Amino acid sequence: MVVALVGCDGLSSEPTYSGLSIEAFNYTPYNLSRFVITDKYGNQASGGGDLMPGSGAGRLSCCYQLQGTEFSVEWKMYDADVASKDLYKPIQYISFKEDIHLPPTKLEGNAGTRILGLHFYPDAHVEPEFRSDLGASRISYRTVHRTLLEQYGKKIDPAGKLNEAELFRRTARIASEAWKKYRLTDSEDLVQFVRFYLLVNPGFDRFPQVQEILKDTKGKSGDFGREMKNLPEAAVDQIKTFSVSGKEQQP
């Protein structure tokens, strides 16, 4: 339950949120450099600070006042894999802008508990959410990556060509595609998606049996991961030789 008192100024009946903290959640595969939310009166709140994929929970910027129900969000991101290739080259930022709506919300509490969370998704849309605690993110790429390392170890990079940061960003990139294509958010669902992409076949999700699993488990958090983890070895072997064209690949 969200708790800050919504006030009104003398000239407007629209809600005014004062002492507001801003928290961003970055679910994209890119680094979130900076974001600014602006109301129609010109009031702004901002944050960022080079948030890696999957990060942001627990990091607040304070204290702001915003008014009304209609806002615009502008943000900049960059691909750390590209930027890290030449540290002396200017970073190539990608800019985004989206309008968002927040219905009038009654809040109570003090600065630090009146929080506007902004969830940045891989398809470049933002979902706002009032909250009263720091809370957890909706997608945890760090949990996904840690589980992959624990369960599959060097198999996810047998040649050892990627450093730790590059391995993590690759996990986030593949997991973000799982969200874009199938709206997967559960960590075990994402672990199995990344596992099959890396270790079995990058086109595994086009395999008929996997398509059926995706259909049957849609909207059921954790079920996709459980079904994929329990696939018989014979089915996994078939997926290994499956091609998107429907023909089997030669091993």
For residue 97, give the CATH number of its domain: 2.60.40
Average pLDDT over residues 5-19: 65
For residue 250, being part of any structural domain is answered with no
Neighbours of 60 (CB within 10 A): 18
145 shares its domain with 164: yes
Domain count, the chain: 2
Distance between CA 154 and CA 157 in Å, rounded?
5
Average pLDDT over residues 124-137: 87
Find where tokens 């559960």 sit. 186
Q: Kindly give, in sequence order, each residue whose CB lies less than 8 Å from that of residue 26, ignoring residues fewer than 6 positions away.
A: 32, 51, 52, 53, 54, 55, 56, 120
Q: Which residues form the domain of 206? A: 141-240
Is residue 249 predicted with pLDDT exceeding 60? no
101 shares its domain with 162: no
Could you list the beta-strand ranges (E) of the chain: 16-26, 31-39, 44-51, 60-67, 70-78, 94-101, 115-120, 126-131
Taking only the tens place, the pLDDT of each residue in 154-164 is: 999 998 899 99
For residue 230, being part of any structural domain is answered with yes
Choose one of 131, 164, 192: the last residue of a domain. 131
71 shares its domain with 150: no
119 shares its domain with 210: no
Determine whether 81 is exposed, middle or buried from the number of CB atoms within 10 Å of its CB (0-12, 13-18, 19+). middle
User: Where does the pLDDT of residue 10 fall: very low under 50, low under 70, confident under 90, or very high at 90 and above?
Assistant: very low
97 shares its domain with 155: no
- The larger pLDDT score, comparing residue 12 to residue 200, is at 200
State percent of the chain over pLDDT 90: 76
Average pLDDT over residues 33-53: 94
149 shares its domain with 87: no
Whether this model's pTM surpasses 0.85: yes
Is residue 39 predicted with pLDDT exceeding 90? yes
Q: What is the pLDDT of residue 60?
A: 80
Which tokens sit at 142?
């760090």
Query: By mean pLDDT, which of 6-10, 44-48, 131-135, 220-224 is the weakest?
Result: 6-10
Is residue 250 predicted with pLDDT exceeding 60? no
206 shares its domain with 114: no
Query: By mean pLDDT, which of 49-53, 75-79, 138-142 is the weakest?
Result: 49-53
Q: What is the pLDDT of residue 48?
A: 82
Average pLDDT over residues 25-45: 96
For residue 174, being part of any structural domain is answered with yes
Instruction: Compute the C-alpha angle 181/185/187, nearest 5°.
Output: 125
Is residue 27 predicted with pLDDT exceeding 90? yes
Helix axes 164-182, 141-152, angle to 10 degrees: 120
Find where tokens 């590209």 sit. 82
For residue 168, being part of any structural domain is answered with yes
Q: What is the pLDDT of residue 124?
A: 95
152 shares its domain with 97: no
For residue 101, being part of any structural domain is answered with yes
Q: What is the pLDDT of residue 136?
A: 75
Q: What is the pLDDT of residue 8?
A: 44
127 shares its domain with 151: no
Q: What is the pLDDT of residue 7?
A: 47
Closest CA to 97 of 73, 69, 119: 73
User: Where does the pLDDT of residue 245 fall: very low under 50, low under 70, confident under 90, or very high at 90 and above?
Assistant: low
Half-sphere exposure of 237 (CA within 13 A, CB side): 3
Closest CA to 168 of 59, 91, 53: 53
Is residue 9 predicted with pLDDT exceeding 50? no
For residue 245, being part of any structural domain is answered with no
Is residue 251 predicted with pLDDT exceeding 60? no
154 shares its domain with 187: yes
Neighbours of 80 (CB within 10 A): 20
Choose one of 97, 131, 165: the last residue of a domain. 131
Choose one of 131, 165, 195: the last residue of a domain. 131
Is residue 12 predicted with pLDDT exceeding 70? no
User: Where does the pLDDT of residue 61 fall: very low under 50, low under 70, confident under 90, or very high at 90 and above?
Assistant: confident
28 phi and psi angles, rounded to 5 deg: -85, 165
42 shares its domain with 112: yes
Q: Answer for the pair 251, 241: CB distance below 8 angstroms, yes or no.
A: yes
183 shares its domain with 104: no
- 31-39: strand order across its sheet: 44-51, 31-39, 70-78, 94-101
Strand bridging mode 16-26 / 94-101:
unpaired
- Report the SS3 class of residue 46: strand
